[in-house]
Amino acid sequence: MSDYLSVTSLTKYLKMKFDRDPYLERVYLTGQVSNFRRRPSHQYFSLKDEGAVIQATIWAGVFKKLGFELEEGMKINVVGRVQIYEPSGSYSIIIEKAEPDGIGALAIQFEQLRKKLTAEGYFDDRHKQELPNFVKKIGVVTSPSGAVIRDIITTVSRRFPGVEILLFPTKVQGEGAAQEIAENIQKANQRDDLDLLIVGRGGGSIEDLWAFNEEIVVQSIFESRLPVISSVGHETDTTLADFVADRRAATPTAAAELATPVSKADALVWIRERQNRAYQACLRRIQFNQERLAKLSQSVVFRQPERLYDGYLQKLDRLTTRLETFVSQDFERKQKKAELLKQRLQGLNLLTSVQNYQDRRESLQRLLVTTTKNTINGNRVRLEKAQDALLSLDTSRIVARGYAIVKKDDKPLTSTKNITEGDQLTVQMRDGELEVEVKKCQLKKHLRKIYRT
């Protein structure tokens, strides 16, 4: 039993061999990319040939530095290390470096970026600007120490003396070159005194010219307000800056010739030709206007200017007649309407109606006075009767006639029914009061009978 190994032990042993074997520490493989689907960070795919397949992994940091885009079916050369994944017993390669097989990574990157920018319309002819015929000041974005600026200055001075050249000293190769080229193109576009911009450098390998293939440079040329002539490398060299520029020149000398399309002598001839054409055009215009003036001066209008107003006078007469007719008809309509209203007013006999209302008012007034007097007299009689009745009830008047009022507990007595012997009574007389005591109380016989019943 001791001669048998576990699967785990075998896998660990193989992993240890892979990790320690110097021949497997770094391997070089050629294969075709398979099952590739770009992921946000790390990339996982397969490398295969006619006889076998191996799983491959590229960590995110390595993938960003590849310099080209992986594509399904692309054949690549890779450098990496082999490792075994213990849980499944499978092995794979961790890629540390990769490049396309047969052609360089820069060539692949160039083609991929060219396709992308073409699809986005950066190289369309409709975006190209026309170069000016005559320039006063040319901007040049290039190295200050190269032959490019000397060739441009020499050619421009020979062809068109007096044109100024403004150099924007720029790093055109190596790290940071693309950023500097783009910044200087933008800086040139901020000036108001430039008519044209030349961007270029001398020849070299694709690596030397690569700054002019960077997207940031293409973008700055595309957005340039100034027309741009690209002169990068030799005639056989092609960069993305050449595709996006308004014009491409094979050499710096050719760029200077494009920037100054005519020599000074040719420019003078061109100016004289246009001066003569302008003179002839003005002369023809003057002759045409003179002939037209002559024809107009002989026209009926100038010979008989009053005929200009004939039509207007006739129109004025027609309008005057129509206005008079309208006013007359309107007056007649309103006059008839006034007559009708007058007749209706007379039919109403307003004086009679007013007299009738006045008579009725006077009758009602007399009736109101009579009714008021009768009401006052009646009320006066009723008042006098009420006054007499009230005076008859006045005790002071009764006492004044010789009568007396007998009170018990300040209340007048009208009967002996509630009086008993010994009661204290008050007798009110005309000239004073008496306090008396009842000695005897005797009712009348007929009254007793009434009380008894």
pLDDT-derived band of residue 248, with 50, 70 and 90 as boundaries? very high
Indicate the residue type of 420: T
| Res. 14: pLDDT tops 80 | no
Q: Which of 56-65, 90-99, 292-301, 420-429 has the lowest mean pLDDT?
A: 292-301
Indicate the residue type of 14: L
pTM assigned to the model? 0.46
Q: What is the SS3 assignment for 429? A: strand
pLDDT of residue 449: 42
Angle (CA) 194-198-199 rounded to 5° is 130
Structural domain ending residue among the three candidates 243, 261, 279: 261
| Res. 206: pLDDT tops 80 | no
Residue 77 belongs to a domain? yes
Mean pLDDT of 121-143: 91
Q: How far is CA 107 from CA 218, 237, 241, in A?
A: 17, 13, 15
If asked whether residues 95 and 134 sit together in one domain, one would say: no
- More confident of the two residues 317 and 126: 126
Longest dimension (CA), the chain: 177
409 φ/ψ angles, rounded to the nearest 5 degrees: 55, 40
Residue 107 belongs to a domain? no
**DSSP for 144-198?**
TTSHHHHHHHHHHHHHSTT-EEEEEE---SSTTHHHHHHHHHHHHHT-SS-SEEE
**CA-CA distance, 410 to 413, in Å (whole number)?**
9
Radius of gyration (C-alpha) of the chain in whole angstroms: 67
Supply the mean pLDDT for the chain.
83
If asked whether residues 88 and 144 sit together in one domain, one would say: no
Q: Which of 112-116, 192-196, 197-201, 254-258 has the lowest mean pLDDT?
A: 112-116
pLDDT of residue 221: 94
Nearest 10 degrees: Cα torsion 187, 189, 192, 198: 100
Residue 443 belongs to a domain? yes
If asked whether residues 195 and 231 sit together in one domain, one would say: yes
Tell me the CATH number at 166: 3.40.50.10550
Spatial neighbors of 38 by CB under 8 A, at least 6 apart, are 70
Spatial neighbors of 335 by CB under 8 A, at least 6 apart, are none
pLDDT of residue 220: 94
If asked whether residues 194 and 233 sit together in one domain, one would say: yes
Encode 138-159: b = buried (16+ Cβ within 10 Å), e = exposed: bbbbbbeeeebbebbbebbeeb
Structural domain ending residue among the three candidates 261, 278, 295: 261
Residue 224 belongs to a domain? yes
pLDDT of residue 264: 67
Domain extent, residue 83, equals: 7-102
pLDDT of residue 448: 44
Mean pLDDT of 381-393: 81
| Res. 182: pLDDT tops 90 | yes
**CA-CA distance, 392 to 294, in Å (whole number)?**
136
Mean pLDDT of 279-300: 85
If asked whether residues 140 and 254 sit together in one domain, one would say: yes
Please name which of 117, 107, 141 lies closest in space to residue 232, comparing C-alpha atoms.
Answer: 141
Q: Which two tokens stand for residue 120?
A: 């986005």
If asked whether residues 159 and 254 sit together in one domain, one would say: yes
Tell me the CATH number at 93: 2.40.50.140
Structural domain ending residue among the three candidates 245, 261, 277: 261
Number of Cβ within 10 Å of residue 437's Cβ equals: 9
Query: Hey, which residues does 95 pair with through a beta bridge?
Result: 80
**CA-CA distance, 222 to 128, in Å (whole number)?**
9
| Res. 224: pLDDT tops 90 | yes
- Please list the helix, strand and coil fractions of the chain in percent, rounded to the nearest 5, in that order: 50, 20, 30
pLDDT-derived band of residue 21, with 50, 70 and 90 as boundaries? confident
pLDDT-derived band of residue 263, with 50, 70 and 90 as boundaries? low
| Res. 105: pLDDT tops 80 | no
Helix (H) or strand (E) holding 37: none
**CA-CA distance, 278 to 276, in Å (whole number)?**
5
N- to C-terminal Cα distance for the chain?
155
If asked whether residues 94 and 143 sit together in one domain, one would say: no
Task: Let me know: does 438 contact 425? Beta carbons within 8 Å.
Answer: yes
Task: Let me know: does 419 contact 413? Beta carbons within 8 Å.
Answer: yes
Please name which of 139, 122, 65 lies closest in space to residue 97, comparing C-alpha atoms.
Answer: 65
Give percent of the chain with pLDDT exceeding 70: 91
If asked whether residues 142 and 252 sit together in one domain, one would say: yes
Residue 30 belongs to a domain? yes
If asked whether residues 186 and 92 sit together in one domain, one would say: no
Q: What is the SS3 assignment for 134? A: coil
pLDDT in tens, 417-447: 778 888 888 888 878 888 888 888 877 655 4
- Give alpha helix (H) positions in 227-263: 240-244, 252-259
pLDDT of residue 352: 73
pLDDT-derived band of residue 250, with 50, 70 and 90 as boundaries? confident
Q: Which of 241-250, 354-363, 409-418 has the lowest mean pLDDT?
A: 409-418
| Bridging pattern class, strands 196-201 and 228-232 | parallel
pLDDT of residue 6: 81
Domain total in the chain: 3
If asked whether residues 60 and 168 sit together in one domain, one would say: no
